[in-house]
Chains A and B, each alone.
Chain A
């Protein structure tokens, strides 16, 4: 089973700053099969990124992602107050087919 470890656990930044969120896999992940989600308080997760770096429809270009192998990064440039959320990475693999990281909580000062 591939375990995804996200860091930091909590990130506290001010509006306008840049956020860098990390997702590290215990084994190599196909970059095609790495996705990122945003979950705002009281809401369902929303797809941000699929295929490691492709933005989902309607996602602002402030959100970008990169990575390969075991190290993946989600970057949010120019933070806005509405970016307050928990961010999850997710990979598709063999067994179990889908695993999620434990999440990074982004706080806006």
Chain B
């Protein structure tokens, strides 16, 4: 059974870089059948897609965050990572990693099938 687990610091200072890693177990990250994404949820609020990556390294980012986001993949470790720079209190959220699957068109990974449990990152001095 596929499992995803987020890891990283739970507290980040303003203006610094938030770094998280998602470890995938029970399946290989090296498949073109899926892509891998990060989604966040501020406390008490809704879900926001941050960005996604294919095992090949191709990335897609939310335009609202694009200037501050980098997502990378390490196939040897079956992991993918998120870096968000110049964080402020507005970046305080639960961060989820997830696998996106295709409902029809092989080339379109249109929904998030599997999710990690999420990790709370607080931005505060």
Q: Which residues of A contact B (CB under 8 A)?
A: 32-33, 35, 37, 43-47, 50-51, 54, 56, 88, 90, 92, 95-103
Contact = CB atoms under 8 A, between A and B. Distances in A.
A102 B46 contact: yes
B115 A51 contact: no
Contacts of B60: 97
A90 B62 contact: no
B113 interface: yes
B46 A47 contact: no
B49 A96 contact: yes
Interface in B93-119: 96, 100-101, 103-105, 108-118
Contacts of A88: 46-47
Contact of A35 (B62, B108, B112, B114): B112
Contacts of A99: 49
A37 B115 CA distance: 11
Most buried by A among B109, B112, B115: B112
Contacts of A37: 47, 112
Contacts of A50: 101, 103, 110-111, 113
A4 B111 CA distance: 15
